[in-house]
Structures are given as structure tokens and as C-alpha cells.
Structure 1
């Protein structure tokens, strides 16, 4: 039998929309989430990434109060996660939308709105934001997977919440729908709303997220800006003769920090050391054709950080 541990009171940073401390969830002998401590700042788009089974959805469900943590705690906009005070400030789409199948999309939203004490004007505004106004009269069963997903996002938008938590919001959308969702999230952020986004679309995350948290095997591996993750401190160098250049680069950067990629060298060093590397190569009578910082894609960083999960 699992004993529910009492969580100490949290004192989240002043600007935190979501703040967790040592958030942990155990199912029997399986540790699904292991001491996660993340901070989502107000007004930002935060990408929450991890392989299937890494603990993303369980973490989000604990933040929403849908799952009770084994230990640790979380706050949402300064309120204890899962309390009525916190839930009034949050809109969420977790693990796909669930609606009455034989009601129209509009009537499904109206039922949700009335339960929350909202007027029909909120429904029309939400349908317009996800481009479902024309199809709002149609039964939910007639919707494509992408339309069902957009209706789920519309439900999350009801009442203009301060925080949106979206679990795979582009699932089932075609390229045009993915682009529209990206624009919507950018508009919401520009209007001051905070978005916590879980997604497998790493190219989309790279374009729209301010910061990213990566979870692997239940543990938060890193939390940083997209730029910080992609930078990674690398220099690309094209030089001749390559064997001499390689020896010089290894002497300057260390043997383990130099690799050959497509007939060029990549050095895992601070790009600010570019001038130092260039001087060393020229002194060794190496012709330097190109030397510049390189950024990895978010996809490269993600697979590097979660390689244990992908074996």
C-alpha cells in the first residue's frame, strides 16, 4: 500500500505560472515521475518534451489535480494545484478531447460553458479562434480527428483562462492545421496568456516555445531556452589539410571535443574561442576556409538527451 506523504508548502517564484517541487508519482513498484521540479513563467510558451512513457502526461495530470502525487507538490498561478481556485484559472486538453458524440460541436461547448457559468458568447469566441464556427452546428461524430482536436482546444479556451495546458494539441492536424495552431498559440502568448505545451512536433516547438523542459524516465533532464539548448557551444571549421587541422583542433579543444562531420570539423567549445582556434590553425600553416558557430536542431538535442529511452 502506498502512503500519501504530506507535501511541504511551496513558495513559487513571483512570476511562476506553474511551479513544482520534487513532484513524484509511483504506481506500485513503477516510478512514473521522479522528483520533477519545473517552473513555467507567466506569459511564456513552455515546451514539455519527452519520449512516450517518460512521464509527461502524468506530470501534467498532477499539475491539474487529476492525479494525486505520491510526494512533492505543485502550484498553479500561486494556488495549490487541483484546488477550485487554481482550476478556475486554467484551460486544458489532456490525452485527447472527450465530448458527447451526438451533440454538435457548438452544443458540446455550450454544455461545458453552462456548467462553468459562462455565456454563449464565450462559445462563439472559442469556436472562431479554432476556425470551427461554420462546422459548429455539425455532430461531433461527423468530425475528423483534426476537427475533434480543435474542438478540444476550443473547450480549453472557454472563459479566457490565464494558463493553457495542451497535451499534443496538433495531433491529427494536417500541415495547414498545424500552422494555424502555431499561429493561435503565438497570438495567445502575445495577449499575455501562458501556454504549457506537450508535443512530439519538435520543429513546431522549436519555432514557438520560449523555453523547454525535457523529461526522460520520469526525471527532468534539463530546463532551458530553445536557444541555449540548440547552441551547445560548437564551432564548425573547414580547413586544409584536414589531418593537420584535426591535430591542431584536438590540441586546442581536447581529443574528445572534436569530430569530423561532412569533411568539416565540429568543435564542442565556446564559439567565443573561434579566434583562438583560427590563430592556432594559421600558425600551423593550415588554410582556413570557414569557421563559424553552429546550432543543433532541437530534434538533435532531444534525441541526445533521451537516448537511453530510445534504445
Structure 2
């Protein structure tokens, strides 16, 4: 069994008194494994940052628990093994980027050599002498990530790490995150850029209205491949597809028909269409994107239980 480095059980946060208070996080059960990149997804106000702050021990849960590296969140012995960037970096504006990191290194009793190494990793070595107040939003974000990397933490928690970065900077950040995981560090990140998460994350958790809707691999969430057929007349094509695959396995998408059948059955389906006298204009294999799945789930609010429906798919891609 893969080692769990972050685990929450019934994690709940309510602001205000009693049942009338605002429920920000509702009984979240999260598991993050060693050496993986875990993407935490959800709309604005879904409870992502509040959950991460409880995992880091920055705020106390109303109920439930969070453990990191086998110990309760917030314990000093645990905190020193975590690097984090939450809700944007906070630094002294009139100090340089390098001096800000030096201050942090002295406070944490880290060797100064780690400062230049961290600046190099986020491509800020040539701007380390510039004052923080002169940095662009993207540079400030990269300095925050550099601070999180100092000390070679076992767990790195990043809240929207590519915020403010240009496309080249985003690509560099994705490469750095993958490199960290390959080196054995665990990365827990929140992001609203679903294509980015789809590219680099081993597993994801989707949260909406404070509740964790599902936790699974990206490939399992996207589901299997579907047959996309454009044929006329459309009404007859739909009827034939339903006869072959069942009513629940057929969906109309614009002028095309999506049929949930294994790709190896493609010749059988096309042959049936042609035999029935239909004109087949296009046949392709379609795969749902993570973005499509995300919006389906967060709009409907349906709870998908990985233990029931996705047990066979929960092994990490790595």
C-alpha cells in the first residue's frame, strides 16, 4: 500500500456560531500519497484554500482531523518538513528577493546556500538583487515558490502556483513540479487551470460547496473513450445506436452522436449504419476532457463515491 503523507478524516470548518454559521468545509476525506502530484480542484469559494490552511495547521478545524507525515497538522516537527505557498506570497517590499529569502533562511536556521539554489530553481537568480516591490505578479509568485522549496521539504503545498505567470513561466513551473515529484517529494496543489492539472497531476480531488465530490486519477475521472459519429438522417442514426449500445450509452452532441462502446466495436457500429442505408460522414474516437468532467460534477453537485464506483481505477498513474 502506498504511504499516505496527507490524510483528512471528516475535516470540517464552520465560521460563526452553531448551525447558523457558514459551512466552508464539510467532512472532507482526502488522501495524498508520497511522491505524487495531487491536484485540488474546485470553483472559487468551494473550500480549497480553507482545507489547505487546515492541512498546514494555520487554522483549526471545527470537527474532524488532518494528519501530515503521520502526525497531527500544525505540530512543529511536521511544519518544518512542509513548504507552502498559500493565497499569494508575503514579503518585505523594500528588501530584495534574495534578502527576503535570507531572512527566512536565518529564521529557519537553514544554510544560506539554499537561498541561491531556490532562486535558481524558479529562474530568479538574475533578479535576486531587485527589491520585491519592483517584481511583477509572476515574479512575486515565483519567489513564493522559491521560499516553499527551501529546506527540501517532504511535502510542498502550493495554492495556484502559476498565478500571474506568462505561458513560458507556466511551462517552467509545471516542469519544476513534475521534477519535484520524480525526486520523491510530494506536491499538493490547487489550481483553476484544468488543462494544467490534467497534464501534470497523478490524482485529483474535486471539491464543491465544501464537499469533496470525488478523489481519483485523471484518467479514471475522464472515463473511457467514446465513438463520435456524424451520420444522416440523425434520428435514425440515434435509434440504431441505441439499439446497439443501449439508451443510456447514446448522447447527441451538436450534429454528432456519442456512443459509449469499446473502440474495437467501431467497425460493427459503422457497418450497421451503412447496412441500414445511413450516410456516414465522420467517425472519430472522442475522450472527455477533465474540464468537461469538472463542470458536469460541480454543476450537478452529485457525489461520486470512489470507493463504490472507481475502486479499480484509484491506483496512481505514476
Q: TM-score, normalised by structure 2?
A: 0.86
Counterparts of 1:94 and 1:151 in 2: how far apart (Å)?
13
- The answer to whether the aligner puts 1:125 opposite 2:117 as a matched pair is yes
Contact persistence 1:271–1:292 (CA under 8 A): no
Match of 1:90 in 2: 82
Q: SS of the residue aligned with 1:137?
A: coil
Match of 1:161 in 2: 153
Counterparts of 2:227 and 2:59 in 1: how far apart (Å)?
45
- The answer to whether the aligner puts 1:214 opposite 2:202 as a matched pair is no
Match of 2:290 in 1: 298
Deviations 1:53-80 (A, max 9, x none): 0000000000000111111111112222
Counterparts of 2:264 and 2:85 in 1: how far apart (Å)?
43
CA shift at 1:228, angstroms? Answer: 1.6
Range 284-293 or range 31-40, more displaced: 284-293
Which runs of structure 2 are paired with 1:125-274 in the superposition (5 Å)?
125-232=117-224, 234-268=226-260, 274=266
Counterparts of 1:132 and 1:236 in 2: how far apart (Å)?
47
Counterparts of 2:36 and 2:158 in 1: how far apart (Å)?
14
CA shift at 1:194, angstroms? Answer: 1.0
5+ residue gaps, structure 1:
1-12
Distance 1:175 1:297, change over 3 A: same
Match of 1:19 in 2: 7
Q: SS of the residue aligned with 2:128?
A: helix
Q: SS of the residue aligned with 2:91?
A: coil
The runs of 4+ residues in structure 1 deviating greater than 6 Å are none
Counterparts of 2:74 and 2:270 in 1: how far apart (Å)?
56
C-alpha RMSD of matched pairs (Å): 2.1
Range 266-275 or range 57-66, more displaced: 266-275
Counterparts of 1:33 and 1:275 in 2: how far apart (Å)?
48
Deviations 1:149-198 (A, max 9, x none): 10000000000111110000111111111111111111111211111110
Match of 2:45 in 1: 53
Contact persistence 1:63–1:75 (CA under 8 A): yes
CA shift at 1:252, angstroms? Answer: 3.3
Q: TM-score, normalised by structure 1?
A: 0.88
Counterparts of 2:2 and 2:76 in 1: how far apart (Å)?
21
Distance 1:73 1:273, change over 3 A: farther
CA shift at 1:147, angstroms? Answer: 0.7
Match of 2:315 in 1: none
Distance 1:261 1:144, change over 3 A: same
Contact persistence 2:2–2:34 (CA under 8 A): no
Instruction: Count residues in correspondence.
Output: 297
Q: SS of the residue aligned with 1:237?
A: strand
Range 119-128 or range 287-296, more displaced: 287-296
